[in-house]
Amino acid sequence: MSPADRVPLPAALAGALGERFGGRFTTNPQILLQHGRSESHHAARLPDGVVLAHSTEEVVAVVRLCAEHQVPIVPFGAGTSLEGNTTPLRGGISLDLSEMNRIVAVHAEDFDCTVEAGVRRQQLNEHLRDQGLFFPIDPGADATIGGMASTRASGTNAVRYGTMKDAVLSLRVVTPDGRDIRTARRARKSAAGYDLTRLFVGAEGTLGVITEVTLRLHPIPEAISAAVCGFATLRGAVDTVVQTIQYGVPIARVEILDDVQMRAVNRWSKLDYPELTTLFFEFHGSERYVQEQVETVAAIAAENGGGDFQWATTPEQRSRLWKARHEAYYAAVALRPGAVGWPTDVCVPISRLAECISATKADLETASIPATIVGHVGDGNFHVIFVLDPDKPEERVEAERLNAALVARALAMDGTCTGEHGIGVGKMDCLEQELGEALELMRTLKRAFDPADLMNPGKIVRL
């Protein structure tokens, strides 16, 4: 739908929202822009209004009003998604949940907690620290928990602790017709009916609005050790990861940054690591167990052309190391002043990882646009960041070609078109390639849950 096809916000709806929410309903152009643009290359599309919700009951009120007036709703958290997941393609109401940020309950003895959707990842871990617990899912950005559940986020710790699919025990959701439901109880397992929790995790707000999340927690490890190791070849770095996983070493994090990304990171974060393909490691456990892991991985790395491990031994050094990794996207974009980034990702079975990354690197070395490789390779997931001149449309065309080749390669290896960014608007065609006829079942679900197509329309599947 083009901007010219958009229906203006009904005056009756605007009046009702203004009466109910006062200043927390706005059509201020600057606030609309904040809720209509993405962190990456996707074009901005403005909502017609923004509502700042403070409770599930208020979300119910907004959903019912929008359903009555047939106006789209797009849930919004921190706005850190990368595939246009929160872009309001058909306008309507951007439902901002960022101030629904209460930690509802922590059950330390059960290793779980319940939080509102707007709680941020770092906020939660600061709250948990004194109880000896932490929430391990770490996508890099300080995202909201609701947004992480909606996009099935993962990140640097996924190789050991899994993704949001594994971390979410239960959800509180407002359905498109305004019902307030819970998808499960707090029990660690259940055989009771359809798994509605997993249905909403990763649905990107297309089936309902997540307002509360119950999460698994983990004890803070007794010992944490982090290191950096450069490699003579990209293949050597990837083989080190694959062999580490195949040998059963329970490594907490292992990230790859190619030589171009390391150059960008050194410039952005004021570091001085060798500009080689590099692995960032982190090990969790008891002092003795961590030492055993380190010795095993160091030996594997040496056999594959790795250099000496450079250790980050203090919490401050580890924080600086992982901050540099988390800011890799901004570092890559900064390679070209005025550039925009196009981050994409795929995930393949671990046995095909070296082949997939090597072929991708060969493509990038012949491209006319700069691009970096960075990723959570412990679970077969890696990213390419294209760095584009926004005034050169031919660069976007080339990035589209390279991205299509990357996705086709991953699918040919029985991988997926996205390991963690989600589908949003950017990878809808890729999803069709990946799932084929199964996509029609997704459309059936979407129509059953949201027959008027008001919940984040135009995302994941086309109706």
Contact 60, 12 (CB under 8 A): no
Residue 342 placed within a domain: yes
Task: Please tell me whether residues 193 and 325 are part of one structural domain.
Answer: no
Contact 264, 332 (CB under 8 A): yes
Residue burial 289-300, b: 16+ Cβ < 10 Å; e: rest: ebeebbebbbeb
Q: What is the pTM of this model?
A: 0.93
> What are phi and psi for residue 272, nearest 5 degrees?
-135, 35
The answer to whether the Cα torsion of 354, 355, 360, 363 is positive or negative is: positive
For residue 428, give the nearest of 5, 89, 39, 163 by alpha carbon: 89
What confidence score (pLDDT) does residue 320 get?
Answer: 92
Q: Is the pLDDT of residue 307 over 50?
A: yes
Helix (H, G, I), strand (E, B) or coil at 382: strand
- In sequence order, the β-bridge partners of residue 447 are none
Task: Please tell me whether residues 370 and 432 are part of one structural domain.
Answer: no
Averaged pLDDT score across all residues of the chain = 94
Residue 463 placed within a domain: no
| Strand boundaries in 108-163, DSSP class E | 112-116, 133-134
Task: Please tell me whether residues 180 and 286 are part of one structural domain.
Answer: no
CATH number of the domain within which 402 lies: 3.40.462.10
Task: Please tell me whether residues 296 and 355 are part of one structural domain.
Answer: yes
Residue 462 placed within a domain: no
What is the rounded distance in angstroms from the CA atom of residue 459 to the CA atom of residue 3? 17
Long-range contacts of 309-316 (CB under 8 A, 24+ apart): 309/227, 309/228, 309/229, 309/281, 310/227, 310/228, 310/229, 310/273, 311/225, 311/226, 311/227, 312/226, 312/227, 312/228, 313/225
Which residue reads 């620290």 in tokens?
129
Residue 461 placed within a domain: no
Task: Please tell me whether residues 249 and 193 are part of one structural domain.
Answer: no
Average pLDDT over residues 286-307: 94
Helix (H, G, I), strand (E, B) or coil at 365: helix
Task: Please tell me whether residues 278 and 407 are part of one structural domain.
Answer: yes
Task: Please tell me whether residues 151 and 117 are part of one structural domain.
Answer: yes
What is the rounded distance in angstroms from the CA atom of residue 441 to the CA atom of residue 431? 13
Residue 439 placed within a domain: yes
Which residue reads 């029990």 in tokens?
187
Residue 458 placed within a domain: no
Q: How many domains does the chain have?
A: 4
- Write down which residue in 98, 130, 151 finishes a domain: 98
What confidence score (pLDDT) does residue 1 get?
Answer: 45
Residue 246 placed within a domain: yes
CATH number of the domain within which 73 lies: 3.30.43.10
pLDDT band of 5, cuts 50, 70, 90: low
Helix (H, G, I), strand (E, B) or coil at 364: helix
Domain that includes residue 82, residue range:
3-98
| H or E stretch covering 257 | strand 253-257
| All residues at 6 or more sequence positions from 11 whose CB lies less than 8 Å from its CB, including other chains | none
What confidence score (pLDDT) does residue 377 get?
Answer: 87
Residue 142 placed within a domain: yes
For residue 171, give the nearest of 52, 89, 75 by alpha carbon: 75
Contact 110, 186 (CB under 8 A): yes
Task: Please tell me whether residues 116 and 205 are part of one structural domain.
Answer: yes
pLDDT in tens, 162-197: 999 999 999 999 999 999 999 999 999 999 999 999
pLDDT band of 4, cuts 50, 70, 90: very low
Q: Give the whole-number percent of the chain exceeding pLDDT 90.
A: 90
pLDDT in tens, 94-109: 999 999 999 999 999 9
Contact 150, 179 (CB under 8 A): no
Task: Please tell me whether residues 140 and 171 are part of one structural domain.
Answer: yes
CATH number of the domain within which 182 lies: 3.30.465.10
pLDDT in tens, 25-38: 999 999 999 999 87
pLDDT band of 274, cuts 50, 70, 90: very high
For residue 425, give the nearest of 459, 455, 449, 450 by alpha carbon: 459
Task: Please tell me whether residues 298 and 417 are part of one structural domain.
Answer: yes
Q: Is the pLDDT of residue 386 over 90?
A: yes
Task: Please tell me whether residues 71 and 125 are part of one structural domain.
Answer: no
Task: Please tell me whether residues 116 and 200 are part of one structural domain.
Answer: yes
